[in-house]
Amino acid sequence: MACATPPEDASSDPTRTGPDATGGHDSPQEQGAPPHRLFRIDPKLAPGLYVVSTPIGNLRDVTLRALDILASADLVCAEDTRVSAKLLSAFGLSVRLRPYHDHNGAQARPGLLNDLEAGARIALISDAGTPLISDPGYKLVREAAERGINIVAIPGASAPLAALASSGLPTDRFMFAGFPPPKSSARRRFLAEMKDVRATLIFFEGPSRLVESLSDMALVLGARDAAVARELTKKFEETRRGKLADLAAHYEREGPPRGEIVILVGPPAEEQGADEATLDAAILAAGDDRPLKEIAAEIAERLGLKRRDVYERALKLRDDESDED
């Protein structure tokens, strides 16, 4: 179904939201915001597609610019209009809502794009956070760009960035990888593709699969520093840090946590400052009669290093010991 222009009689539009809508969110006034209007309507807002970030938990994380855009747009397309209606009502915004999600996107896009080409001002929001980040919208933005339509991103809350900032892991390079596959075999293949990425890895995961994902990450990625962030910006926000295997063991004992979850995994050990002395100590500590390739493979997995590098270093140490004898 295309998001066509709504009927002129807004009172007949069941998806229109306003201050009288119910939703369960505290209003900005109840949260301590000033009593005056928090947004301004701009009748001269330029035509185009506005990709608007919304709060991921705490309503006060909304930006004034986001409120201005939502108040001024001809139409707001939302992942779930029921969820978005509660948010908009909390800020006293009366807007025309239309659903846009994975199931109706193919049918909705042609009408939306035609409206945009005709000069409409359309805002796109997801249930929470920045649209397109594991949420619907990429195809709409891509096709709008192909048609030369003006696209404006309104920055704001983002769960991956909020989790990264509080994780204590390296932030100079990071990779957002979305949700891992639900089945273990596919998940391990998925993780193996990122094993050599020299950056902090960021994943979304559901509570019921958290232990399985952490266990597979420990198996595939090795003994890396990691963090599990949940309920970001909300009352029971928590970030737990530790090695992947230790985090998996913790949540296996405690049971699945509640809330939205972000998993962050630090880069391979070389990026975290693992030096030659650390590697040498691991090789010497494994002094047994096993094949050197087997020892190198075990240490490489544990330290997050390349097998070839560990094997070559182990050969050198063995040669040095032979020379001393």
Condensed to tens digits (0 to 9), the pLDDT of residues 190-199 reads 999 999 999 9
Residue 263 lies in domain: 160-269
Supply the CATH number for residue 183's domain: 3.30.950.10
Residue 228 within any structural domain of the chain: yes
- Is the domain of 114 the same as that of 205? no
Within a domain: 5: no
Same domain, 153 and 170: no
2 in any annotated domain: no
CATH value at residue 117: 3.40.1010.10
Evaluate if residue 296 carries a pLDDT over 90: no
- Give the tens place of pLDDT for each residue, 276-287: 777 888 888 776
262 with 297, same domain?
Answer: no
> Pick from 101, 123, 157: which residue ends a domain?
157
Flag whether the pTM goes above 0.85: no
Domains in the chain, number? 3
Whether 1 is in a domain gets the answer no
134 shares a domain with 33: yes
| Beta-carbon count within 10 A of 192 CB | 12
CB 76 within 8 A of CB 95: yes
Q: 186: buried, middle or exposed (CB in 10 Å: 19+, 13-18, 0-12)?
A: exposed
- DSSP tally for the chain: helices H, then strands E: 11, 10
Q: What number is the average pLDDT over the span 117-142?
A: 96
Q: Would residue 4 count as lying in a domain?
A: no
User: 242 and 319, same structural domain?
Assistant: no
Q: State the pLDDT confidence band at 40, using cuts at 50, 70 and 90.
A: confident
State the pLDDT at residue 212. Answer: 97
